Amino acid sequence: MALAGTMFVSNAEASEGPSFTYASASYMQLGVDQSDSTDGFGLDLSIEMNELAFFRAAHERYSEGGLSADLTRIGLGLKKAMNDSTALYGGAGLAYGKLDVGWASDSDTGWQVFGGVASRLNKHVELYGELSHYDLFDSGETDFALGSRFFVSDRASFGAAYIFGDGADRLKIGFTFHW
């Protein structure tokens, strides 16, 4: 949701820092970098608990033919404002994965860690980069996400992200409600 956080320049137009309280729904595509990609959806929730801590949950579901895959992650994070418009953040939590292939099904519960940087460039644009790792089914997956949110009002934004993954890259396009 990272290492180049100091590259973002604070903008005097930034009315506030990055958003850590929101709910979003997204169209997702798994295997963007492959010829046989799979469509899916994503749901995200983040709630700022105080000026340092936040809770977040995310769910992704992909299905095609007799195959479906679900990934759910919940966690607690800490954030540190670097200036008025940029914050570094990191956290840890639980991950749950489920695979259904026709008549067979398997699921596993594991752990996750994440860290990143988010910057509100101005009142309409927020950029973020995040490095995350989760461990399920006796193996780990590391993702690096680059994303943006384009605010159409104080409470609504459209977003897009590209997630570089160990197994397959993912594309995410969605709508977010902020409060």
126 CB burial (10 A radius; 0-12, 13-18, 19+): buried
CATH number of 17-178: 2.40.160.20
Distance, in Å, from the CA atom of 61 to the CA atom of 44, rounded to the nearest integer, reads: 12
pLDDT at 108 exceeding the cut of 90: yes
Range scoring the smallest mean pLDDT among 1-10, 87-96, 116-125: 1-10
Is pLDDT of 4 > 60?
A: no
What integer pLDDT is reported at residue 1 of this predicted model? 37
pLDDT bucket at 12, cuts 50 / 70 / 90? very low
Q: Name the residue ranges covered by the structural domains of the chain.
A: 17-178
Q: What is the mean pLDDT of residues 163-179?
A: 94
Write down the pLDDT at residue 126.
98
- Which tokens in the block code for residue 43? 């749901």
